[in-house]
Structure 1
Amino acid sequence: MERFDYKEAGHGLLLMAFLQRVINGGGRIDREMAVGRGRTDLTIEFAGDTFVLELKLKRDSDSKEDGLDQISRYLDTLGMTKGYLILFEIKPSSIIPWETRVKWEDISHQNKNITIVEM
């Protein structure tokens, strides 16, 4: 990711490339879709379902809570109750190895079901 000048863009672009291969013509991925006064990072339409993803770099201890609040607002605006928060760890794997870096957690936040994926 060090090759990207805008650090958040690199992680998002790699995730989009992976997801595009997964849906492979059977759906659609929208970046920065307008939702009220904000914009979702990724909105995926696939097999008649809509998935909202908020992407965050894990810069400090507030990143997770900020991301949860942000995706909850987007879900409220869209009238949805399920979303995904993807947190990208910015510390190198020499400090936080992949074996402990990747985590999945399903939580309830502001009456929304949110899956948090940390990597």
Structure 2
Amino acid sequence: MYDNFNDDLRYVIDLGIIKDINNDIVFANEIYGEIIPRVLNFQLQKNIREQGTTSWYIKSNGKLDMDKLLKAFQEFYSENSEVWLERFDYKEAGPHLLLMAFLQRVINGGGRINREMAVGTGRTDLLIEFNGDKFVLELKLKRMPSARQKGLDQISRYLDTLGMTKGYLILFEIKPSSIIPWETRVKWEDISHQNKKITVVEM
């Protein structure tokens, strides 16, 4: 019997595009890790117009205003995600790809996005470099009530590996807005966790 996900997964492992490391599915090398997300979200990038203008998010000192950028994405996501997510075969990858497309459109104007993706875990780590600054983003799907706590622990560990103390935890609700309306799911909170400053961004 054909298993769409497992057979596709086995195929790309055999091709050497991804690999299994301790039950985490990761890209086989940095080139694939950079190119594949770009290909997957290329059409999304093309359709992000005004909101993707780099200059909107640059402070007077030339630094990136990450808070403003992520708040703009919250608005964009609430207005567009349900239409866009229907276009993905694997819909749980959609929220991550939408955010990466949005970020790529903006960051292309002078920065770099480093991705650490583990297929099937519902999480992605992003390290964004822009004009001398670094920003850490942990992307996580809200599959379980424990997603927030696990996400906080995960981003804290990731920040430790980078020697940093500030990051953003991005939580995507997977239930439709008919169950959890946008008015209650879009949230922004600055908290302290394990001696780190974490901004929790929910949508």
> Is it true that 1:14 corresponds to 2:14 in the alignment?
no
Which ranges of 4 or more aligned residues in structure 1 deviate by more than 6 Å?
Answer: none
User: How many Å apart are 1:79 and its aligned residue?
Assistant: 0.5
1:64 is matched with 148
Residues 106 and 116 of structure 1 are in contact (CA less than 8 Å); yes or no, is this contact kept in structure 2?
yes
1:90 is matched with 174
Aligned length: 114
Question: Between Structure 1 and Structure 2, which shows a larger proportion of helix residues?
Answer: 2
Note the alpha carbon deviations across 1:52-106, whole angstroms, 9 max, x for none: 1111111111100000000000101111000110000011011111111100000
Question: Between Structure 1 and Structure 2, which shows a larger proportion of strand residues?
Answer: 1
Q: What amino acid is the match of 2:185?
A: R
TM alignment of 1:108-119, pairs within 5 A: 108-119=192-203
TM-score (norm 2): 0.53
User: How many Å apart are 1:23 and its aligned residue?
Assistant: 2.2
Name the % identity. 86
Tell me the secondary structure at the aligned position of residue 176 of structure 2.
Answer: coil
TM-score (norm 1): 0.87
Moved more, 66-75 or 9-18: 9-18
Larger Rg: 2
Q: What amino acid is the match of 2:176?
A: P
Output the aligned Cα RMSD. 1.8
Unaligned runs of at least 5 residues, structure 1: 34-38
> Is it true that 1:29 corresponds to 2:113 in the alignment?
yes
User: How many Å apart are 1:2 and its aligned residue?
Assistant: 4.4
More RCO (CA 8 Å, sep 6+): 1
- Aligned equivalents of 2:88 and 2:187: distance in 1? 25
